[in-house]
Amino acid sequence: MRDWSNGATGVSSTRTPPDSAASETPSLSADADGTQLGSVRIARRVLRTVVEQAALSVRGVARMAHARGNVRQVVDRSLPQHGVSLAVRNEVVGIELYLIVAPGASMVEVGTQVQEAVGAAVEHILGMKVSEINVYIQDVA
C-alpha cells in the first residue's frame, strides 16, 4: 500500500469544468490480441462517490462536511460537493476532503487512514493515479 503523507505532494492539477458529465480520463481496454476496444469514461459523481464512501468507511469519521456560504473558490480547485473536491487531469486526480470526526478520535490517525483508504480505492477500483489527498478536519461531532 502506498504511504500517503499528510498534505500536498506538489503535483499541480487543473480543474475540470463542473458541468462536465464525465472525467477527462479515458481508460483504454484491449481484447486478447491487443486490439483497442474503445474507452471507458468515469462520471465525476462516480469518482466523488467512491472517494466519499472510502472516507466514511474509516473509523473516527462521523460524516463529510458540507460547504457553507463563506467558502470561496480557490484557483484551480472546485468548490467541494458532499465534502469532496476533485481536480482531474488525464488519469491523475487530486483530492481534497472536508471531514467531521467523532469525539475522542485521533485526528492525525483519522486523516492518515482516510488518505490511505481513499488512495487505495481510487487506484484499485477506478484504476486512476492520485497526485494528492488533502484532508481538512472541519469539526468534531
Segment 108-125, tens digit of pLDDT = 999 999 999 999 999 999
On the question of pLDDT at 84 being above 70, the answer is yes
Residue pair 100/80 in contact (Cβ under 8 Å)? The answer is no
pLDDT at 20: 43
Which has the higher per-residue pLDDT, 75 or 41? 41
Pairwise CA distance, residues 98 & 88, whole Å: 18
- Name the nearest CA neighbour of 12 among 98, 77, 73, 80: 77
Instruction: State the Cα–Cα distance between residues 42 and 63, nearest whole angstrom.
Output: 25
pLDDT of 2 > 60? The answer is no
- Beta strands per DSSP E along 66-128: 84-89, 92-101
Give residue 17's pLDDT: 40
**Among 43, 40, 57, which residue's Cα sits nearest to residue 97?**
57
What are the residue boundaries of the structural domains of the chain, listed by start? 42-140
Q: What's the pLDDT score for residue 30?
A: 62
pTM summary value = 0.69
Find out whether 84 and 66 touch, Cβ atoms under 8 Å: no
Q: Looking at domain 42-140, what is its CATH homologous superfamily?
A: Cation efflux protein, cytoplasmic domain (3.30.70.1350)
CA distance 134 to 111: 9
Neighbours of 128 (CB within 10 A): 20
How far apart are the C-alpha atoms of 21 and 88, rounded to whole Å?
13
pLDDT, greater one: 68 or 139: 139
